[in-house]
Copies of this chain bind each other. A is one copy, B any other.
Amino acid sequence: MINKVLNILKESKDYISGEDMAQNLSLSRTAVWKYINKLKKNGYDIVSVTGKGYKLIENDILNENEITYPHIYFKEEMTSTNNVAKELASKGAQEGLVVVCDKQSEGKGRLGRSWEGDNGKTLCFSVLLRPKLPPHKVSKITIMAGIAVLEALREITGCPLFIKWPNDIVYEGKKVCGILTEMSAEVDNTEYVVLGVGINVNTDIFPKNIKEIATSLYILTGEKYKRANVLDTALKYIKKYYDIFIDSELKNLKEVYNSYCINKDKAVETMGKSTIYGIALGINEEGSLEIKTEDGKIVTVMSGEVSLRGDGTY
Residues in chain A within 8 A of chain B (CB atoms)? 86, 90, 110-112, 134-136, 138-139, 142, 166, 180-189, 191, 302-305
Q: A187 and B134: CB pair below 8 A? A: no
The residue on B at minimum CB distance from A287 is B187
Which residue of chain B lies nearest to A112 when distances are taken between CB atoms in the complex?
A: B189
Q: Which residue of chain B is the closest to A179 with respect to CB atoms?
A: B187
Within the complex, the shortest CB–CB distance from A83 to chain B, in Å, comes to: 9
20 additional A-B pairs beyond A110-B189, A180-B186, beta carbons within 8 Å, are A86-B90, A110-B186, A111-B188, A111-B189, A112-B189, A112-B191, A135-B135, A135-B138, A135-B183, A135-B185, A135-B304, A182-B185, A182-B186, A182-B191, A183-B185, A183-B186, A183-B187, A184-B184, A187-B304, A188-B305
Measured CB to CB, the nearest residue on chain B to A90 is B86
* Contact B110–A303 (Cβ < 8 Å): no
Q: A303 near B188 (CB under 8 angstroms)?
A: yes
* Chain B residues whose C-beta falls within 8 Å of the C-beta of A142 in the assembled complex: 187
A-B interface, 5 closest residue pairs, ranked by CB to CB distance from nearest:
A136-B136, A134-B304, A188-B304, A139-B187, A181-B187
Report B-chain residues with C-beta under 8 Å of the C-beta of A302: 134, 136
Most B-side CB within 10 Å, residue of A90, A187, A191: A187
CA–CA, A90 and B85, complex, Å: 13
**Which residue of chain B lies nearest to A87 when distances are taken between CB atoms in the complex?**
B90
Smallest Cβ-Cβ distance to A133: which chain B residue: B304
